[in-house]
Amino acid sequence: MTATLTTTSRPLGGFSPTYVVTDLRRVLRNRRAVIFTLVMPTLMYVIFGSTQGSTNDRIGHANIAAYVMVHMAVYGAVIATTTNAASVALEQQAGWTRTLRLTPLTPLSYVTAKTCVALVMALLPLLLLSLAGALTGASAPIGLWAGSVLLGWLGASIFAAFGMAIGSALRTEAAMQLAGGALTLLAFAGNVFVPLKGAMYTFSQFTPMFGVNALAMYPLTGGESAYGEHTSVWVALLNVVAWAVIFGATAVFFYRRSGERQ
C-alpha cells in the first residue's frame, strides 16, 4: 500500500518509455492519418511557396520560398501533434484510458507520454518540408534553417496537450475533425497562412499558434514579419509558455474528468 501511494503521488509516476514506443507503433499503423499529416502541408507549400523559389526577394536571411516553407512546416508539425493526441478520444471509447487509470500512470504522465509520441510524428512533416524546400529553390543559411526546424518542432509540442484536451472533452471521433478545423482558424489568426499587419498583427500575438510560428521564424528573420512588423523573441517565448501551461492544465483536467465519468 505504501509503495503504491509513493508512486502515484509523484507527478510523473508510472511514466514508461515502453508505453511511448508501443503507442508510437500504433499511431504509425494509421496510414491514412500519417499520409494526411504529410501531404496537406507539403501540398500547400508546393502551391504557395515553391513557385517563389527563384525570386531574389528576401525576408531576413531567407528567400520567399524558405519563408513559406518554415510556416508550412510549423503548421504540419502542429497538425501532427494535435491530431495524434486527439486520438485519445478513440481510446476512451474503447475503454483503454479506464484501464490505464488502474495502473500507476498519473494524468500528467499520460499527457507527457502522448506529447513524446506526438513530437516523433511532428518530425515527419518537418523533414519532408525541408526536403521539398531544398529541391524547389528555398534558400537560407543551413545553420539558421536547421535552427528554425528545431524550434518549430519543440514549439509544436504544446499542441499535443491541446489535442488531448479536445479528445478528452468530446470522447468521440469528431474530436479529430474539430481539432483540424480549429487549427486552420488558429493558423490564420496566428500569422501562419497570411501575413498580418497593424491591429490584426497585434491581436495575433495573443493566439496560440503565433508564438510557435514566431519562434521558429526567428533564426531566419530576426523577428521581422513580411510587412516589417517586429516581434521580440521574449514575446514569442512568453506566448509559447503561457499556452503550454493553459493547454497542459486543460488536458490534465479533462483526462481526470473523463476517468471519473468512466
Each residue of 1-11: pLDDT tens digit? 444 434 444 55
Q: What is the pLDDT of residue 204?
A: 94
Q: What is the pLDDT at residue 45?
A: 87
pLDDT at residue 105 in the model? 73
pLDDT per residue over 200-223, tens digit each? Answer: 999 999 999 999 999 999 999 999
Cα distances (angstroms) measured from residue 71 to each of 24, 25, 250, 253: 26, 28, 26, 31
What does the pLDDT read at residue 53? 52
For residues 238-246, average pLDDT = 95
Q: How far apart are CA 47 and CA 206, in angstroms?
A: 29
- H or E segment at 63? strand 62-63
Q: What is the structure's pLDDT at 7?
A: 41
Output the average pLDDT for the chain. Answer: 82
pLDDT higher at 181 or 242? 242
**DSSP conformation class of 87:** T
Q: What pTM was computed for the model? A: 0.83
Mean pLDDT of 91-111: 70
For residues 41 and 177, the model is more confident at: 41
**Burial of 250 from C-beta contacts in 10 A (0-12 / 13-18 / 19+):** middle
Residue 176: closest CA among 85, 76, 75: 85
Alpha-carbon gap, residue 81 to 76, rounded angstroms:
9
Closest by CA to 135, choosing from 37, 42, 43, 50, is: 50
Percent pLDDT > 70 in the chain is 83
